[in-house]
Chains A and B, each alone.
Chain A
Amino acid sequence: ELKVEQNPLFLSMQEGKNYTIYCNYSTTSDRLYWYRQDPGKSLESLFVLLSNGAVKQEGRLMASLDTKARLSTLHITAAVHDLSATYFCAVVISNFGNEKLTFGTGTRLTIIP
């Protein structure tokens, strides 16, 4: 059974600092997604990582994928308050066309002014 673990589960950081969220998964995967969720809201797609060594950047967020280590990272550069949210990684294993997502437990990020 596929297991997806994130750490840390909670992260409180000051504005302007850098930090990294880690996502480990237990079996070979077809691709990996990062999502953002604001309180009481649905999921917003941030990145999709398709292959080993993939790196994607959008603003202050950068995601990378190491399929050999079964590890993805989400790096936050010079954090700002607007980035406060819960971040989920989700792994896909295709099964006869079903590309269901298996989510990590989430990292609740709070940026302190």
Chain B
Amino acid sequence: DTGVSQDPRHKITKRGQNVTFRCDPISEHNRLYWYRQTLGQGPEFLTYFQNEAQLEKSRLLSDRFSAERPKGSFSTLEIQRTEQGDSAMYLCASSQGTSGTRRIVYEQYFGPGTRLTVT
């Protein structure tokens, strides 16, 4: 399977603990995104990488959150001192430009997500 993969798929942690999630994008996709989805809502943008550079972070990404993409391949998202409000599905997506009708389209392909429950 050459799609986007995420690990773990499920994580239960106690409030105050640190957690780290991993995302492996589609091979050779240079763009990688993290989104967060809470129950009953649409996904919300967290952060974006182009290769190894983190180019944008949402205001949702508090200082307890950090993301890396050290070699421009896989990415990690760490949450320190977790809070119950961090409980959500964390989705990773990757993209690479493909030719559209008149311009390049960077369609994002999503991974299966990591469901975090903070107790």
Distance of B52 from chain A, by nearest CB (Å)? 14
Q: State the CA gap A43–B89 with chains docked (Å).
A: 12
Q: How far is the CB of B31 from chain A (nearest CB, A)?
A: 8
Partner of A50, one of B35, B45, B91, B100: B100
Residue ID in chain A nearest B46 by CB atoms: A100
Cβ of A97 under 8 Å from chain B: yes
- Across the interface, do A100 and B43 meet the contact criterion of CB distance under 8 Å? no
Query: With contacts A42-B112, A99-B95, A105-B41 known, is A48 near B55, CB below 8 A?
Result: no
Q: Determine the distance from Cα of A5 to Cα of B108 in the docked complex, in whole angstroms.
A: 21
Query: Is the pair B112, A48 in contact by a Cβ cutoff of 8 Å?
Result: no
Choose from B31, B40, B45 the contact partner of A102 (Cβ within 8 Å): B45
Determine the interface band of chain B, counting residues with CB < 8 A from chain A: 20 to 34
Please indicate the chain B residues that have their CB under 8 angstroms from the CB of A101 in the complex: 33, 35, 43, 45, 108
- Total number of A residues with any Cβ neighbor in B under 8 Å: 26
Q: Residues of A contacting B55 with CB < 8 Å?
A: 96-98
* A50 in contact with B41 given A42-B111, A99-B95 (CB within 8 Å): no
Q: Find the residue from A43, A45, A88 having the highest chain B CB count within 10 A.
A: A43
Contacts of B33 in A (CB 8 A): 100-101
A residues less than 8 Å from B48 (CB atoms): 98, 100
CB of B44 closer than 8 Å to a CB of A: yes
Beta-carbon contacts under 8 Å, B79-118 to A:
91, 95, 100-103, 105-113, 115
Please list the residues of chain A having a beta carbon within 8 angstroms of any beta carbon in chain B. Answer: 4, 31, 33, 40-45, 48, 50-51, 88, 90, 95-106
